[in-house]
Amino acid sequence: MPSALFVILLTLGGAGLYLAMPGGRFHVGRAALIVLLGAAAVLVSLIAPLAGPHEHGLWLALLALVAVVGALRVITHPRPVYSALYFLLVIIAVGGMLVLLDATFLAAALLIIYAGAIMVTYMFVIMLAQKGGGPAPYDRAAREPLIGVATGFVLLAALTGRVLGAGGELGGAPATPEASLSNIVQVGARLLTQYVVGVEITGVLLLVAMVGAITIARRRAVTEQEGEFR
């Protein structure tokens, strides 16, 4: 793995992302997107060999491409609705990867909760806050994109450099799952034995969040412009 190529790729990706951010100084969004997608594709092609002799290597590369491209679009798309839909794409890709990792129950839960519950809430709020006449002004321009992107990519380089430095030897051999029991049974047993307190606390957390959300949402706000209850 030539590190120079890796650095160039990351730099390219960062530059492309910077250009693709909404409200970038140069109106070259499409071109930047193409550069970005190319960089992402090369990156995935780099990742694919890491999958090595694994039988799911192709699937993994595909899912990774979907996830990364989806994530890019989530943060670059000027319309929140599209961002949310791209995020759905990311969820599905991650779910797929979880299946590849034999975490079938978690994958199902992810899809159900995110796609089914959380994203619907997001959609509601986005629709609620939507106004006619194209994207809102604050959606059209990013905030300090250069320093944000640069920081992010330096961090990415630091993290991935460490991973790639270790090479394919990182991590042990894939453990064979215990065929006798299904994944859901195993996870359930683990949750209700070792993490039973955590489960209880999570339940309380959800309850509190529900009560809090209701309380906050029911509060009447005084708008500064109108100075009266709404």
For the segment 114-153, give every residue that binds another protein (CB under 8 A).
114, 117-118, 121-122, 125-126, 128-129, 136, 138-139, 141-145, 147-149, 151-153
Distance in Å, CB of 102 to another protein, minimum: 6
197 touches another protein by CB under 8 A: no
Nearest distance from C-beta of residue 35 to another protein, angstroms: 16
Whichever of 180 and 223 has its CB closer to another protein, that residue is 223
Residues in 46-105 at the binding interface with another protein, rule: CB under 8 A: 47-48, 50-52, 54, 60, 64, 67-68, 71-72, 74-75, 80, 83-84, 87, 90-91, 94, 97-98, 101-103, 105
The mark string for 5-34 relative to another protein (x by CB under 8 A, - otherwise) is ------------x---xx------------
Q: How far apart are CA 209 and CA 150, in angstroms?
A: 35
Instruction: Report the distance separating Cα 86 and Cα 70, nearest Å.
Output: 5
What separation in angstroms does the CA of 57 have from each of 40, 49, 54, 60, 92? 17, 8, 5, 5, 18
For residue 201, with 0-12 CB atoms within 10 Å meaning exposed, 13-18 middle and 19 or more buried, which class applies? exposed
Q: Does the protein bind another protein through residue 223 (CB under 8 A)?
A: yes
Q: How far apart are CA 17 and CA 132, in angstroms?
A: 28
Cα 21 to Cα 3: distance, rounded to the nearest angstrom: 27
Cβ partners under 8 Å of residue 79, min gap 6: 135, 139
**DSSP 8-state code for residue 114:** I
**Residue 142 backbone phi and psi in degrees, to 5:** -80, 165
Check binding of 196 to another protein (CB under 8 A). no
CB of 31 to another protein, least distance (A): 20
The residue from 12, 15, 41, 106 that contacts another protein (CB under 8 A) is 106
Residues 168-187 that bind another protein (CB under 8 A): 168, 170-175, 177, 183, 186-187
Which residue blocks in 77-182 are alpha helix, DSSP H?
80-100, 104-110, 119-128, 137-140, 145-166
Least distance from another protein to the Cβ atom of residue 186, Å: 6
